[in-house]
């Protein structure tokens, strides 16, 4: 009954929802998101509260992911790097059961929540990895933010808190080489400034012509991120994503797509090479 009251207050933008959650230590309110995914969420956490209130977080990102899946010419393989509590990874799998959905979340606190949320949905099966991706095999310190554990990074972020946790990371190429997951065709990254490190560890992955969409978070000015020229050098066109949320963010989301003509040319080259053998 208390959980329902908390959810009611939050959804109707009435005072008291977060206060009740804190007073009665209710940090696992059960809700169903806009697309039928059951989740246990903390009203005191920024992203989770937004899911409770609006049914989702960053629907504009999900819309583009849906489009990427629907327009894929091969079986989609989705990598959610910095998956937080599993929102995008689980929702894509719910909407498109044929997709291979992989969630990478190195912060133990978020990963535990992801695993709990996954256990609430018997019909959703995803590959989950409790380590980070980088440009080398290494150990990194985790930094997080009070009240917003989705803002967690291997970098010392402004206003961040040292979690005192050291976490293993490896390259995306290594993950594929070990046979843990197929090559991704769609990638979403939310790694708080670590994007370039992740991409540099995916050099073989970026050569895959079937990888056609990468969505990532970056500075509010596209020119301020080194990721853009790096992706352009690998044949991607990059553009900002217009936010639909009423909330003012200090970062922006971007989409990188590989031109269709490049993908088609790569396929043609593969077929020609095969016929010569």
Model confidence at 222, in pLDDT bands (50, 70, 90)? confident
Angle at 163 (CA atoms; ends 157, 167), nearest 5 degrees: 95
Residue 5 Rama label (left phi>0; alpha psi -120 to 50; beta)? alpha
pTM: 0.87
H or E element: which one contains 169?
strand 161-170
pLDDT tens digits, one per residue of 161-176: 999 999 999 999 999 9
Domains of the chain in sequence order:
57-276 (3.40.50.150)
Q: What are phi and psi of 254, to 5 degrees?
A: -130, 155
**pLDDT for 269:** 43
**pLDDT for 17:** 61
List all residues 6 or more positions away from 135 whose beta carbon is below 8 Å from its beta carbon: 171, 197, 198, 200, 201
State the angle between helix axes of 2-11 and 46-54 in degrees (0 to 180), rounded to the nearest 10.
Answer: 80
**CA separation for the pair 140, 205 (Å, rounded):** 23
**pLDDT for 123:** 95
Beta bridge partners of residue 222, listed in sequence order: none
């Amino acid at each position: 009954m208390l959980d329902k009251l908390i959810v009611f207050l939050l959804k109707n933008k009435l005072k008291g929802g977060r206060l009740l959650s804190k007073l009665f230590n209710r940090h696992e309110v059960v809700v169903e998101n806009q697309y039928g995914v059951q989740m246990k969420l903390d009203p005191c956490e920024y992203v989770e509260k937004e899911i409770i209130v609006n049914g989702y977080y960053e629907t504009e990102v999900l819309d583009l992911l849906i489009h990427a899946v629907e327009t894929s010419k091969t079986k989609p393989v989705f990598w959610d790097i910095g998956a937080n509590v599993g929102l995008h990874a689980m929702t894509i799998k719910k909407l498109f059961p044929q997709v291979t959905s992989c969630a990478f979340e190195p912060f133990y606190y978020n990963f535990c929540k992801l695993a709990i949320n996954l256990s609430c949905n018997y019909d959703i099966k995803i590959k989950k990895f409790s380590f980070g991706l980088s440009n080398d095999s290494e150990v990194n310190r985790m930094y997080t933010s009070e009240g917003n554990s989705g803002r967690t990074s291997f970098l010392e972020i402004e206003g961040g808190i040292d979690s005192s946790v050291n976490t293993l990371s490896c390259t995306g190429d290594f993950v594929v080489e070990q046979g843990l997951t197929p090559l991704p065709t769609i990638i979403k990254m939310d790694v708080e400034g670590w994007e370039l490190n992740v991409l540099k560890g995916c050099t073989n992955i970026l050569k895959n012509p079937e990888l056609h969409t990468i969505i990532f978070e970056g500075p509010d000015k596209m020119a301020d991120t080194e990721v853009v020229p790096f992706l352009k050098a690998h044949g991607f066109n990059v553009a900002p994503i217009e936010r639909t949320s009423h909330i003012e963010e200090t970062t922006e989301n971007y989409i990188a797509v590989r031109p269709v003509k490049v993908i088609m040319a790569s396929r043609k080259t593969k077929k020609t090479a095969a016929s010569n053998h």
